[in-house]
Amino acid sequence: MKKILVVTAIALLAAACGDNGKTAMVNKCVKEGQSQKVCDCIVAKMEKSVDKDVFRAMTLDAEGKTEESEKLMKSLPAEKQMSAMGALSALECVSLN
């Protein structure tokens, strides 16, 4: 029974922390002067429009893990790296101000 409780607690903690760095990206955006609404929109659009590995590199950077972010980006094939251009679709969020 104790083992089940420990496993359940770990699963709940993982779920609670499992925003994949999105919160760090939103917080960084807000600190740079955008509204919460705009930042939420930007991060959601970026998550949908870029490759998942590129998005992970972006979240690592937002978390202050620049070296790890750069290492991940350099390890990706060019076509995946180019998906970062999909982040431009998030510019439409700026009109929400």
pLDDT at 84 over 70: yes
Contact predicate 53/72, CB 8 Å: yes
Q: Which two tokens stand for residue 65?
A: 């893990």
pLDDT band at 35 (very low <50, low <70, confident <90, very high): very high
- For residues 83 and 65, the model is more confident at 65
